[in-house]
Amino acid sequence: MSIFSHSAYDKHEQVAFYQDAKSGLKAIIAVHNTNLGPSLGGCRMWPYADDGEALNDVLRLSRGMTYKSAMAGLKLGGGKSVIIGDPRQDKTPELLRAMGDFINTLGGRYITAEDSGTSVEDMHIIGERTRFVSGLIEGSEHGGDPSPSTAYGVFVGLKAAVEHRWGRADLNGLKVSLQGVGNVGFRLARLLTEAGAELFVTDIFQDNIDRAVSELGATAVGADEIFDLDADLFAPCALGAVLNDDTIARLKVGAVAGAANNQLAEERHAAALREKGILYSPDYVINAGGIIDVYYQQHGDYNPAQVKEHIETIGTTMKEVFQRADETGETTAHVADRVAEERFGHEDALKKTDSEAA
């Protein structure tokens, strides 16, 4: 398996593999860029079809974390880890402790947190073996779980998208097709419901769907049907690469704004959305609430009001990206990439900036 020629490899500083036969752990950590600070990103556990799929995911996710932290104005780099396995069947304390041992081998270049398939409780177990773990603030409202902050940030950014696309400040009656109602998606769904939006939801787990229907009054739809709905906005809150040639052709919405990472299957799909008149909210900009929360946890003196204030700047950043894209004719994804790259010192961006100044 080639790393340096991999399509998702983007000058990553380090990619580490680890296997612990006793616990059954098979995991990968990818450190993308540490120009602004140590790499920080969640630990995802997922039943990947094969090792190649896991590698592709961790490379894409770690790159996204670099861009996310830069756009959020944080002194952090980008990293991510993945555990290959079903979190509902294969997760054990022994496996998580082995993951802590793995993280410790990087000596602080990578700091972990909860993600899809892992929880705050899991981070406590990982933390038995390494101090390079975050999202564990004792006594806070959510115990350090960054999911509420991620959801709130997406909600703020989604409102900015609605205002830009339709010129309205409220969400009353807005039809939202929401893919994935897990930790983040369900909290976003609740915020949307409280704001008066009408929800159509799907998820790979039936119990998540049932909870959204019974507690929020959402309408359940099929996993594939979610792309064909006559809705106003599509909110992808599950795994990545959901915006591709097939799904974009089927979308009937005016905007996309969701919590999922790496929503675009390929960079060119940002242009496909624009050509169809769909406003795209760059994922790593809109879903930065969680990393903002974790950043403040890492630096002590955690102040919920200060964290909320910082998260709410996501709305301002989204508006700036939308406006700049309108002015230049670029995609919102391209605009966000350029701004982020200038902030964390991507070589290509710096060369372009220098040539423009000359």
76-91 confidence digits (pLDDT tens): 999 999 999 999 999 9
Q: How far is CA 346 from the centre of its chain?
A: 21
pLDDT (0 to 100) of residue 349? 43
pTM: 0.87
How many Å apart are CA 235 and CA 249, to the nearest integer?
16
Q: What is the 3-state secondary structure (H, E, C) of 80-112?
A: EEEEECCCCCCCCHHHHHHHHHHHHCCCCCEEE
Q: Do residues 28 and 54 touch, judged by C-beta distance below 8 A?
A: yes
Q: Which residue is it, tokens 């603030």?
A: 137
> CA torsion sign, 299 to 34 to 56 to 50?
negative
Q: Do residues 336 and 321 touch, judged by C-beta distance below 8 A?
A: yes
Alpha helices (H) along the chain: 51-71, 93-104, 120-126, 147-166, 183-194, 206-216, 245-250, 268-275, 283-286, 289-298, 304-311, 313-328, 332-344, 347-357
Say whether 22 is catalytic.
no
pLDDT (0 to 100) of residue 190? 98
Which of 147, 134, 119 has its CA nearest to residue 302? 134
How many Å apart are CA 51 and CA 41, to the nearest integer?
20
Beta bridge partners of 280: 256
* 268-275 and 332-344 helices, crossing angle to 10°: 140
pLDDT in tens, 124-174: 999 999 999 986 765 455 667 889 999 999 999 999 999 999 999 999 999
Amino acid making up residue 174: L
Catalytic member of 26, 68, 80, 159? 80
Per-residue pLDDT of the chain (358 residues; tens, 9 = 90+): 579 999 999 999 999 999 999 999 999 999 999 999 999 999 999 999 999 999 999 999 999 999 999 999 999 999 999 999 999 999 999 999 999 999 999 999 999 998 989 998 999 999 999 999 986 765 455 667 889 999 999 999 999 999 999 999 999 999 999 999 999 999 999 999 999 999 999 999 999 999 999 999 999 999 999 999 999 999 999 988 999 999 999 999 999 999 999 999 999 999 999 999 999 999 999 999 999 998 988 877 788 999 999 999 999 999 999 999 999 999 999 999 999 999 998 655 434 434 443 3
Which of 89, 78, 95, 30 has its CA nearest to residue 57? 30
